[in-house]
Structure 1
């Protein structure tokens, strides 16, 4: 078990996309890149790359990354090696990946929950939607729908999350705004973004 101290040097997004195109199970670009792709232009630097997948497909990802050094954040704030055939416990949803031990971290895997053909928000199981609406096609790969990524970002509201919200807000459809507003109401009750979604 180790603290999270090794530096990040995110791999180029195009290289990560090329790597995961070898996996049969569904996967998608998440995090700030998902928002930036929805906006349609670059507007900030990215400290990492998030690849999302369903928890039930974790071993497909681990086998794809058989030659990579993968560590689970278990518990959060600490990292431990992820053996190739281990099914991670339910509370683990964040995996850090690098080419070899001692090297810089290159990208993260984020595990999402599902119930049959429904995506389930891991922080509040009342928030669900069809898996078919979870992602958007983008030049040969998929990205997480921006309203879902914003829901994840709404909890911490770091400076970069506020920038992402402001940049993507003008391109959100009415349906996307309504879904996010309703989801924020369920999880947070009051939230500053709720009023902005009505403008």
Structure 2
């Protein structure tokens, strides 16, 4: 039997996802590699999925808004279970996969982000924060994206080859303030000898 997390992905496009969320009564951001491409202004690589960041405190509104979708929580990570109606997901659950029906491919993934007041708070280290304004970028179509320094922070925990591609593509286009924030965040949360720190120091 094929387990749910082993079923195929056929991710929606950024504009298709934006169309789904355009009337949402909660903030949301396109995240992952697409957020990096939005900052760069061109395609960098292929994408196996598409990520949408939402706030954990809004999860009830998100679930209700997506009531026509099947939503499955990654609980534990690497396995999926159905997100039941009126269920509040615990803090250990970070990701939710979404599709239209059991026969459908997975279409997009939700990432739950923690906040304190008007500040995004790192899932890895509660001392690492950024204002919701600072984590937001808006393109000419009005689509909200996660700012590149925040997205690279997520990727810095255990960087894969695609994460290195994203870092190399965007690091030179970030502001000095963004690079300084990323340097401090990586040093604080992960390692003071992280491979990306030397590159950040070179600007």
TM range (shorter): over 0.9
The residue correspondences of 1:90-101 to structure 2 (distance < 5 A) are 90-101=91-102
User: 4+ residue runs of structure 1 moved beyond 2 angstroms?
Assistant: none
In structure 1, the partner of 2:199 is: 196
Deviation at 1:5, TM superposition (A): 0.7
In structure 2, the partner of 1:75 is: 76
Deviation at 1:3, TM superposition (A): 5.1
Q: Deviations along 1:148-167, whole A, 9 cap, x unmatched?
A: 10010011211100000000
Distance (Å, rounded) in 1 between the aligned partners of 2:155 and 2:13: 23
In structure 1, the partner of 2:40 is: 39
1:153 matched to 2:135: no
Q: Report if the CA contact (8 A) 1:59-1:84 is conserved.
A: no
In structure 1, the partner of 2:60 is: 59
In structure 1, the partner of 2:175 is: 173
In structure 1, the partner of 2:108 is: 107
Distance (Å, rounded) in 1 between the aligned partners of 2:102 and 2:85: 15
Mind listing any 5+ residue stretches in structure 2 that lack a counterpart?
none
Q: Report if the CA contact (8 A) 1:50-1:108 is conserved.
A: yes
Q: Deviations along 1:106-142, whole A, 9 cap, x unmatched?
A: 0000000001111110110010122221211122121
SS of match in other structure, 2:6: coil
Q: Deviations along 1:48-85, whole A, 9 cap, x unmatched?
A: 00000110011111111101111000111110001232
Distance (Å, rounded) in 1 between the aligned partners of 2:23 and 2:82: 23
The residue correspondences of 1:134-153 to structure 2 (distance < 5 A) are 134-138=135-139, 139-153=141-155
Distance (Å, rounded) in 2 between the aligned partners of 1:133 and 1:177: 13
Deviation at 1:102, TM superposition (A): 2.9
Mind listing any 5+ residue stretches in structure 1 that lack a counterpart?
none
Distance (Å, rounded) in 1 between the aligned partners of 2:101 and 2:200: 43
SS of match in other structure, 1:84: coil
In structure 1, the partner of 2:6 is: 5
Taking only aligned residues, the RMSD between alpha carbons, in angstroms, comes to: 1.0
Distance (Å, rounded) in 2 between the aligned partners of 1:94 and 1:22: 22
In structure 1, the partner of 2:22 is: 21
Relative to the length of structure 1, the TM-score reads 0.96
Distance (Å, rounded) in 1 between the aligned partners of 2:15 and 2:90: 30
Distance (Å, rounded) in 1 between the aligned partners of 2:85 and 2:50: 21
SS of match in other structure, 2:165: helix
Q: Report if the CA contact (8 A) 1:6-1:103 is conserved.
A: no
